[in-house]
Amino acid sequence: MTRTGFYGERLGLALAEFAPGSGQQVGLPNIPPNWGPTSWLVMGSGGMSSTLEDMERYYDAIAMGKLLTGTWARWQQVASLSLGGSDRGFFILHATNMKGTSLLILTNREGQPESTEAMTRAARRLVLGSS
C-alpha cells in the first residue's frame, strides 16, 4: 500500500490525484489537512487517505489471511456487505462472498442512505446472492 497515508501526509502526490470532497469541503481535495482542526481522536480512528487500488490490496490481504490471524481472521473472513462514510465527503461499500467474488466502491460523495440504497441492494444481490 504505497498510496495510503496518515493525517497530514501527501506521499509526494499532486493535489489533483486526490478526490475532491463534496461534504463540508466542496471542491477541496478530500485529505486530512482540509478537514479543519483535528485531535488524536481523528488521527486514531481515521484521518487517513488512500486509493481504490490500495484499499483493494488491503481487503484482498485480509481475505487471503495475510493480515489477521486466529479469531480476528475468522471474524473478517465471512461473506459480508460493509458500508461507511463521512460528512467530509466519502462513501465506501465493500461486499464479498469469500468465494472469490467481491466488490469495492469508493466515492467522493457522502454516503447518505437515500442516495445509496439502490446501489447497496444491487451489490448485495450481485455478490451475496440475496436481496
Chain segment 92-104, per-residue pLDDT in tens = 888 888 887 888 8
Residue 74: partners with Cβ closer than 8 Å, 6 or more residues away: none
Q: Is the pLDDT of residue 128 over 80?
A: yes
> pLDDT, tens digit, for every residue of 3-12?
888 766 777 8
26 pLDDT tier (thresholds 50, 70, 90): low
- Residue pLDDT, tens place only, 55-70: 888 888 888 888 888 8
Q: What is the pLDDT of residue 121?
A: 83
* Residue 37: per-residue pLDDT: 66
| Residue 78: exposure state from Cβ atoms within 10 A (0-12, 13-18, ≥19) | exposed
CA distance 6 to 41: 13
pTM over 0.75: no
